[in-house]
Structure 1
Amino acid sequence: MSSATASKDVVTEPWLCLGDRAFRSRLILGIEQYTDPTLVADVLRAAGCDVFITTFDLEQTRPSLLMSDLDQAVGLDDYVWIGTTSFARSRQDALLTARRLRESYGIDIMKLDVRPSDNLPDNGQTITAAAELLAEGFEVLPFILPDPETAVALEQAGCAALRVMASPVASARGVVDERAVRDTMSAVSIPVVLEGGLGTPAQVVRAMELGADAVLVNTAVAQAPQPAVLAESMRHAVRAGRLAVDQDLVAPLAD
């Protein structure tokens, strides 16, 4: 299947616009776990993604791909570039990572993560870091635990979108507290991405049914026996969940 064919059925009206950069695909894939640029290209095309995410590992303990190799395999000009601070364990690390990404690549859209040693988003540090990045001219997409008060604070600060944790990263548990997630999404008017622990297409369908504007998947696809096949399955799951919402066919909240 060509990349044009793979992405055709997920191209919709943008769910997020930042200046002249439009986010149309409602499936976002993290690529931090890959070591083969050709595989990165395969999964992004199979998923119909239009976003490319990159980061710095401040500790320099994780494998990384050369940007030149990625550009040759992926064709990076075809994607909206955003940065991520997904390896940051503190507010200070998140700020340093964001600034280095802007200095090196001109990236000003930041997928903000502040996850201490427990690997769960620290809502308080995230609010503080978001305010600092916004003051420096970044567009900020922060990752938080479900909490309406935090969501409202970040919206009022000027964040472009929110990312809400469905369940712990890499847990494959799906959306563990549907009511808390729904309440958090309902508290704001900016787009919301659900991510963390979305390990199967069925879980992605449910995330979309709950009202997410998009989902972000990483570990499930990266560790699958055939990552590109699961990426394509996730693409169809996003579409199925969105159609269920459009047709008012959503199952009630879990108890």
Structure 2
Amino acid sequence: MSLRIVVCVKYVPDATGDRRFGEDFTTDRDGVDGLLSELDEYGVEQALRIAEASGDAEVTVVTVGPDDAKDALRKALSMGADKAVHVNDDDLHGTDALGTSLVLAKAVEQAGFDLVVCGMASTDGTMGVVPALLAERLGVPQVTLLSEVAVEGGVVTGRRDGDAATEYLQAQLPAVVSVTDQSGEARYPSFKGIMAAKKKPVQSLDLDDLGIEAEQVGLAGAWTAVDSAAARPARTQGTIVKDEGEGGKQLAAFLAAQKFI
């Protein structure tokens, strides 16, 4: 039986754009271009490497998001994934990490999996908790924040690099892993891959397909919420020190006043 790999990806606002909240303090996704989260590209890359090493594997990418989220799926398919699942429902607006993990868990279960691969965090929310929540909902082990990952003999192994130590971890499949931006540069889609992606299947699902009630997700079902937000203050002009022989002393005095030294 081939290895079934599912990669969870997210469609996020472009970090170089003018990102802001909407009137309900959720991310305004209409006023800025979106793309596949850069950190999720590493997850796609590692899934493809595992599939190539296995020689008998299928890679499915799953996302939860609006209509435009299909662009993120197409990017992953053009990199080499085999098929995609898009969960799209108006009642998902405002869903937090807990709700997202529920939707992803149902979609992953429906797709069938041996290994679930995630990025270390999304580039918009940057919470980094969804892989652990997903593993809990699926009832499988989690091996997170890996800079190196491999699968052999029904076991996933990996290396986690910390500030003071390196850990070598393993878990029996099925399992959930997340990979960092140190796990290996993500490949660029080739022209052939881009053309092939147009013919690869993308399944569309809504909450009814997954057996999820609207009250469990969206703003109504969120466990977290933004109560207020304010624009970042405009940058003010810095202090200019003219060096007329006393520049060093003035700089030292300034640093001392700011308690930097």
> TM-score, normalized by length of structure 1?
0.33
Whose strand proportion is higher, 1 or 2?
A: 2
* CA radius of gyration, larger in: 2
Whose helix proportion is higher, 1 or 2?
A: 1
